[in-house]
């Protein structure tokens, strides 16, 4: 492997973009295929499959065996709201293997004391997302109950094609939310992607139980790779 290819691969990973390293065993030649360049690659179908499945493997070509190593960004969960549910979700997400971040401009909620060791942004989502935008490998849970905080990241998550988007609130609260999103010009197909009420339907009642329900939904979306189908059909240019 060339050092330049290694550096380019690490740059893609740091930017949370998928990439595939293709190695030709016969010649020892290697190339980096970035997610945005898949269509132009001679092995476009195989590379696409590697990115979709997240699985690396050997492909047979007319010139012999090649190895496709798929490098997908680590999945992360972003919680909009440093509330009781997020306090339960933070350690659970870590145990399940997800990166976890919290955004909440209310400093009384988003405190180190309430979330020891967590990645915490005590700022408005508008500010945080300018510096660190969502990406397709992100699950977004909006759980503050406050439209002033929730709506912007919710719309941003739908436009980005985040692999999971869930919103806390009763059916009545969600109906009002849907009205606001429609007024903001969000297409119905995108609005339908929001899981509301948030989380798997297990009758969760306490904050801890709701966190389990949310995590179950996020894992289902991640493992069933729904994210990629959703993205192709519904992602809009931002």
Residues found near other proteins in the complex (CB under 8 A): 1-3, 6-7, 9-10, 13, 23, 25, 28, 55-58, 67, 69-75, 97-99
Nearest to other proteins of 10, 182 (CB atom)? 10
Cβ atoms 100, 191 nearer than 8 A = no
- Say whether 172 sits in a helix, a strand or coil: helix
CB of 110 to other proteins, least distance (A): 24
The counts of H helices and E strands in the chain are: 9, 9
CB of 148 to other proteins, least distance (A): 33
Give Cβ neighbours of residue 123 (< 8 Å, ≥ 6 apart): 103, 105
Nearest to other proteins of 97, 133 (CB atom)? 97
Strands in 30-34's sheet, in edge-to-edge order, are 30-34, 19-24, 64-71, 57-61
Nearest to other proteins of 72, 82 (CB atom)? 72
Nearest to other proteins of 13, 145 (CB atom)? 13
Residue 174, CA distances (Å) to 57, 111, 150, 191 in order: 43, 28, 12, 11
CB of 94 to other proteins, least distance (A): 9
CB of 74 to other proteins, least distance (A): 5
Nearest to other proteins of 55, 225 (CB atom)? 55
CB of 183 to other proteins, least distance (A): 38
Alpha carbon distance 125, 140 (integer Å)? 12
């Amino acid at each position: 492997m060339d050092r330049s290819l290694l550096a380019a691969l690490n740059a893609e990973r740091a930017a949370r973009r998928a990439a595939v390293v293709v190695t030709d065993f016969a010649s020892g030649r290697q190339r980096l295929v970035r997610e945005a360049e898949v269509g132009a690659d001679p092995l476009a179908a195989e590379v696409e499959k590697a990115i979709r499945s997240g699985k690396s493997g050997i492909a047979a070509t007319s010139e012999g065996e090649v190895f496709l190593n798929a490098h997908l960004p680590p999945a992360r969960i972003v919680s909009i709201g440093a509330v009781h549910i997020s306090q339960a979700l933070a350690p659970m997400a870590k145990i399940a293997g997800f990166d976890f971040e919290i955004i909440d401009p209310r400093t009384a909620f988003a405190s180190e004391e309430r979330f020891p060791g967590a990645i915490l942004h005590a700022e408005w989502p508008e500010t945080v997302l300018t510096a660190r935008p969502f990406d397709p490998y992100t699950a977004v849970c909006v759980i503050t109950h406050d439209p002033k905080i929730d709506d912007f990241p919710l719309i941003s998550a739908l436009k980005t094609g985040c692999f999971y988007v869930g919103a806390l609130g009763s059916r009545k609260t969600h109906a009002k939310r849907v009205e606001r999103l429609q007024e903001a010009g969000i297409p119905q197909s995108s609005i339908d992607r929001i899981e509301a009420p948030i989380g798997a339907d297990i009758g969760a009642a306490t904050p801890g139980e709701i966190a389990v329900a949310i995590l179950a939904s996020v894992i289902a979306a991640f493992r069933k790779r729904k994210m990629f189908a959703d993205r192709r059909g519904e992602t809009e240019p931002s």
